[in-house]
Chains A and B, each alone.
Chain A
Amino acid sequence: MPDITPFLKSLLSTAGVSGYEAPVAKLIEEKWRPLVDEIKLSRIGSLTAFKKGSFDGKRPSIMIATHMDAIGMMVTSIVGEFLHVTQIGGIDARILPGSPVTVHATRTGKTEELYGVVAQPLMRALPPEISDGPVPLHELLIDTGLSAKEAASKVNIGDVVSFATLPVDLSGEVISGHTLDNRASVAALTVALEELQAKKHLWDVWAVATAQEETILGGGYTSAFELRPDLAVTIDVTFAKGPGAADWGTFPLGKGPTIAYGPNIHPYLYKRINDLADRLEIPHAMELVPRHSGTDTFAMQVSAEGIPTAVLGIPLRYMHTPVEMVAVKDIQRTGRLMAEFISALEVDFIENITWDD
């Protein structure tokens, strides 16, 4: 199995905040193009790759969604040399003070990347009720080191801000960085596409790097509707056990993917993936999802006439911080399980879906 780490690191170093996924979409397109038959962007910016199945007849299709967008921020006002921002996606403002960021400044007509740091003003400069408590996002500032005049000439209201923490290898074949949610899954889907080069699959495969998941599940809704797959699977990250995360909804780092179970997942699909993982001896855990899976699957399940869906999860520590952490082997296992599942799909799989009533 080729080492996916270099591609993953390039994914982590490439911007792609929700709604502004073009830079990362380009990178994924370059990587996927030799692995698929067709590739294009959807009308809202999801990268849609098609790999033709080998069945000589009316082929069913499976869509695999991995969102490529990142959480980030957007400039709301410019005060002297400082920028106020709002969030794109879910950010706990407590992780921001002292974090490096990139401001994608557009005022000059072409995008210029400005390095900056999230600044927490002194207590005396803040509303007294904050005291020494956490400072809310709207009171934090971004400092690019530019003068007020330079900042005003470069930055526009609405400019996007991404995290700039560099990815780092930690001990035990673990990678840390921002946006492993969900570039880890993009990497896993890439592993699956690589595996499928040497594997026969009867079904057509739609590999989709979806846009705007962190905000509105935009890619999940629109691509599932456009492609009308017979089955739809999301690969997304899930909560790894770690400091502050230890309950039933968390899973050990490096011990394999999760397979989600609950109303957002078709129980037959769950069973088939779970049985396959057992048979292949790929370590895995059952992830209980009593309501919303928090993934593109939530959108895909109710697209058009409805689609049988599943979710694979890659355990990740410190989700939505600049130091998210994932075990490389979990990415590889997830990709392999996905490829094996696709390869094992019988032409009449859909007709054989049963309800355990």
Chain B
Amino acid sequence: MADKTPVFGAHQVQLLEKLCNASGVSGDEGEVRKIVLEEVKPYADTVKVDSLGSVLVTKNGKTAERVRLMLDAHMDEVGFMLVNDDGDGLFSFEVIGGIDPRSLPGKQVLVGKNKLPGVIGARPIHLTSREDRQRKIPVDALRIDLGPGGSGKVKVGERAVFATRFRRAGGSLFSKAIDDRIGVATLIELLKAAPENLDLCLSFTVQEENGLRGARVAAFQLKPEMAIAVDATPANDLPVFDGSENTFYNTRLGAGPAIYTFDGGTLNDPRLINFLAQTAVEAKIPFQYRQPGGGKTNAGEIHLAQTGVPSVSISVPHRYTHTAISLSRVEDWKNTLLLLHSALKRITPALLSFERP
């Protein structure tokens, strides 16, 4: 079964649906962890849950000269923590991760392990002035409202996520938490088809949205020779208000997997950037370079682990990150999986024997 190219189909989409619909705010990733453990156990040599809650998996290859490669995807998502019970089913909340407060009014949420439904409302337009409507609504003016019977059903400290359920419409996927359940699903599929030239180690990490904290200790424990962080990156490819060219799109939806060059946390290893791009060209898989700029992936911590780990990031483009509904294309995900699979098979120790430019 080794070396088998993943056949992309309904099964993968079902796995992604299960992962996206799970609640897993940074620091409370249990539901996602449970799914990951179930999925990886039949294929792994070793599986452990580390002290922060990340799932670390190894799968050794068979060839003589193997490379110890780390693949990382984070399990956590942005969300909320209930911080005060205001009575009558209303709770004050704090935001966890980079959520634009302008995306919160009018959304449904699910609170806690039992997924108790609630809503984040807004003052009726009839009771606002024109001046009010020109100011954004701050988070501290918003409440999670469970309904008047909600007090006592949940406690402060519990997490909440956007309530959006996964939806496929044609070639598009609409969901919360595509960042980074799409990476988690990709790693699971790569493990199932692990090539024999690698000692593969996978980290399904916690707390990426809280400062890349899970990846830091995961890389320390796994001691890889090289690493690839698999994530979801924003496609800011919307039209500009005045019709001018959008030169700051970051990535474009539908243009294939996005290979990182430089972001706010990592100067990606040029040998690995070129290797991924070359692999895509040879395997005839479309790809794009993510525009150099801000933002971070777990590669930012992994490449500094121990004495340093040559690292690169590759992401599935998605629009409307960290909102109730993100949008991704099935083709982009499929091509990300296929590119990674092709690349993994071709990795040799010689890859890092070239000098860095």
Binds B, one of A130-138, A259-267, A299-307: A130-138
**A244 CB-CB contact with B under 8 Å:** yes
Given known pairs A170-B118, A318-B122, A318-B124, the reply for A117 and B136 (CB within 8 Å) is: no
CA of A147 to CA of B134 in the docked complex: distance in angstroms? 33
**A343 CB-CB contact with B under 8 Å:** no
The answer to whether B239 and A80 touch across the interface, beta carbons within 8 angstroms, is yes
User: Residues of B contacting A294 with CB < 8 Å?
Assistant: 126
Interface residues on A, range: 35 or more
A-B contacts counted at CB < 8 A amount to: 199
User: Residues of A contacting B295 with CB < 8 Å?
Assistant: none
Binds B, one of A6-14, A57-65, A88-96, A192-200: A88-96
User: Residues of B contacting A317 with CB < 8 Å?
Assistant: 121, 145
The answer to whether A321 and B147 touch across the interface, beta carbons within 8 angstroms, is no
Binds A, one of B165-173, B190-198, B209-217, B259-267: B165-173
How many positions in chain B have a CB within 8 Å of any CB in the partner chain? 60
CA of A119 to CA of B241 in the docked complex: distance in angstroms? 13
**A242 CB-CB contact with B under 8 Å:** yes
* Residues 219-242 (chain B) with a chain A CB within 8 angstroms: 236, 238-242
Given known pairs A242-B145, A244-B141, the reply for A133 and B121 (CB within 8 Å) is: no
**A325 CB-CB contact with B under 8 Å:** yes
Binds B, one of A48-56, A172-180, A218-226, A272-280: A172-180
**B89 CB-CB contact with A under 8 Å:** yes
Binds A, one of B9-17, B68-76, B302-310, B316-324: B316-324
CA of A126 to CA of B146 in the docked complex: distance in angstroms? 35
Binds B, one of A29-37, A97-105, A282-290, A334-342: A97-105
**Min CB–CB distance B312 → chain A (angstroms):** 25
**A350 CB-CB contact with B under 8 Å:** no
The answer to whether B172 and A145 touch across the interface, beta carbons within 8 angstroms, is yes
User: Residues of B contacting A114 with CB < 8 Å?
Assistant: 169
The answer to whether B148 and A168 touch across the interface, beta carbons within 8 angstroms, is no
**Min CB–CB distance A327 → chain B (angstroms):** 7
**A253 CB-CB contact with B under 8 Å:** yes
The answer to whether B126 and A126 touch across the interface, beta carbons within 8 angstroms, is no
**B106 CB-CB contact with A under 8 Å:** yes
* Residues 105-137 (chain B) with a chain A CB within 8 angstroms: 105-108, 116-128, 133-137
The answer to whether B107 and A243 touch across the interface, beta carbons within 8 angstroms, is no
User: Residues of B contacting A97 with CB < 8 Å?
Assistant: 100, 102-103, 323
Chain A, 4-43, contact with B by CB distance < 8 Å: what is the 0/1 string?
0000000000000000000000000000000000000000
CA of A132 to CA of B100 in the docked complex: distance in angstroms? 9
**Min CB–CB distance A93 → chain B (angstroms):** 7
Given known pairs A122-B236, A244-B141, the reply for A323 and B121 (CB within 8 Å) is: yes
User: Residues of A contacting B142 with CB < 8 Å?
Assistant: 243
**Min CB–CB distance B110 → chain A (angstroms):** 10
Interface centre among B102, B146, B236 (most CB of A within 10 A): B102
Chain A, 164-186, contact with B by CB distance < 8 Å: what is the 0/1 string?
01101111111010000000000
**A239 CB-CB contact with B under 8 Å:** yes
**A254 CB-CB contact with B under 8 Å:** yes
**B181 CB-CB contact with A under 8 Å:** no
The answer to whether A321 and B122 touch across the interface, beta carbons within 8 angstroms, is yes
**A319 CB-CB contact with B under 8 Å:** yes
**B286 CB-CB contact with A under 8 Å:** no
Q: Quick one: which of A117, A171, A325 contacts B325, CB cutoff 8 A?
A: A117
The answer to whether B149 and A98 touch across the interface, beta carbons within 8 angstroms, is no
* Residues 174-217 (chain B) with a chain A CB within 8 angstroms: 174
CA of A141 to CA of B125 in the docked complex: distance in angstroms? 20
The answer to whether B105 and A95 touch across the interface, beta carbons within 8 angstroms, is yes
CA of A166 to CA of B118 in the docked complex: distance in angstroms? 12
The answer to whether A242 and B324 touch across the interface, beta carbons within 8 angstroms, is no
Chain B, 13-36, contact with A by CB distance < 8 Å: what is the 0/1 string?
000000000000000000000000
Majority SS of interface residues in chain A? loop
The answer to whether B238 and A119 touch across the interface, beta carbons within 8 angstroms, is yes
The answer to whether B108 and A93 touch across the interface, beta carbons within 8 angstroms, is no
User: Residues of A contacting B242 with CB < 8 Å?
Assistant: 127
Given known pairs A94-B122, A243-B121, the reply for A99 and B106 (CB within 8 Å) is: yes
Given known pairs A115-B174, A143-B319, the reply for A170 and B146 (CB within 8 Å) is: yes
**Min CB–CB distance A144 → chain B (angstroms):** 8
**A106 CB-CB contact with B under 8 Å:** no
Q: Quick one: which of B106, B126, B164, B238 contacts A323, CB cutoff 8 A?
A: B106
CA of A119 to CA of B102 in the docked complex: distance in angstroms? 11
User: Residues of B contacting A228 with CB < 8 Å?
Assistant: none
**B97 CB-CB contact with A under 8 Å:** no
**Min CB–CB distance B117 → chain A (angstroms):** 5
Given known pairs A97-B323, A98-B325, the reply for A320 and B125 (CB within 8 Å) is: yes
**Min CB–CB distance A357 → chain B (angstroms):** 33
CA of A79 to CA of B148 in the docked complex: distance in angstroms? 43
The answer to whether B127 and A239 touch across the interface, beta carbons within 8 angstroms, is yes
CA of A318 to CA of B142 in the docked complex: distance in angstroms? 11
User: Residues of A contacting B116 with CB < 8 Å?
Assistant: 171
**Min CB–CB distance A137 → chain B (angstroms):** 10
Additional pairs, 14, CB under 8 Å, beyond known A80-B239, A100-B325, A170-B89: A82-B238, A91-B125, A121-B238, A125-B246, A134-B135, A165-B106, A170-B146, A171-B148, A172-B89, A176-B117, A242-B121, A317-B121, A319-B125, A323-B108
Interface residues of B (CB under 8 A from A): 89-90, 100, 102-103, 105-108, 116-128, 133-137, 141-143, 145-150, 153, 163-164, 167, 169-172, 174, 236, 238-242, 246, 248, 254, 319-320, 323-325, 327
13 intermolecular pairs with C-beta atoms under 8 Å apart: A79-B239, A95-B105, A97-B103, A125-B246, A132-B102, A134-B102, A168-B163, A170-B119, A171-B116, A242-B121, A318-B123, A319-B126, A321-B122
Interface residues of A (CB under 8 A from B): 79-80, 82, 90-100, 114-115, 117, 119-122, 124-127, 132-135, 139, 141, 143-147, 150, 165-166, 168-174, 176, 239, 242-245, 249, 253-254, 294, 317-323, 325, 327
